[in-house]
């Protein structure tokens, strides 16, 4: 521990519909839309975005955090 606040979190963007699942280093509060390439998900209304794990996580919107 350094005593310095680290606002970055590692975020996994994955799923069957993605061509290239990736891990990102994101700053807390980054919108999901900034992590998911709109070319890979052209119609974001058809997909689920989950904050947390698939069993106990909560659904968030494409423009959510």
For 28, the domain range is 8-60
Q: CA–CA separation, 17 vs 28, rounded Å?
A: 25
Q: Any idea which of 2-6, 20-24, 37-41 has the lowest mean pLDDT?
A: 37-41
Please check whether residue 57 is in contact with residue 51, taking contact to mean a CB–CB distance below 8 angstroms.
yes
Say how many domains are in the chain.
Answer: 1
Q: Is residue 25 part of a domain?
A: yes
| Torsion of the alpha carbons at 16, 24, 38 and 45, rounded to the nearest 10 | 60
Residue 50 domain-assigned (yes or no): yes
Q: Is this structure's pTM higher than 0.85? A: no
Query: Looking at the domain assignment, is residue 1 inside a domain?
Result: no
- pLDDT tier, 42 (very low <50, low <70, confident <90, very high otherwise): low
- CB contact at 8 A, 61 and 49: yes
Assigned domain for 48 exists: yes
The closest of 24, 28, 25, 23 to 5, measured between CA atoms, is 28
In a domain, 51, yes or no: yes
Q: Per the domain annotation, does 65 fall within a domain?
A: no
Of residues 65 and 7, more confidence is placed in 7
Q: Average pLDDT, stretch 4-24?
A: 85
Whether residue 23 is contained in a domain is answered as: yes
Please report whether residue 19 resides in a domain. yes
């Amino acid at each position: 521990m350094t005593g310095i606040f680290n606002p970055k979190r590692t975020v996994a963007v994955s799923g069957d519909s993605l061509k290239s699942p990736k891990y990102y280093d994101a700053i807390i509060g980054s919108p999901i839309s900034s992590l998911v390439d709109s070319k890979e998900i052209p119609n974001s209304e058809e997909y689920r975005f989950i904050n947390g794990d698939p069993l106990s996580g909560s659904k968030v919107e494409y423009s959510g955090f």
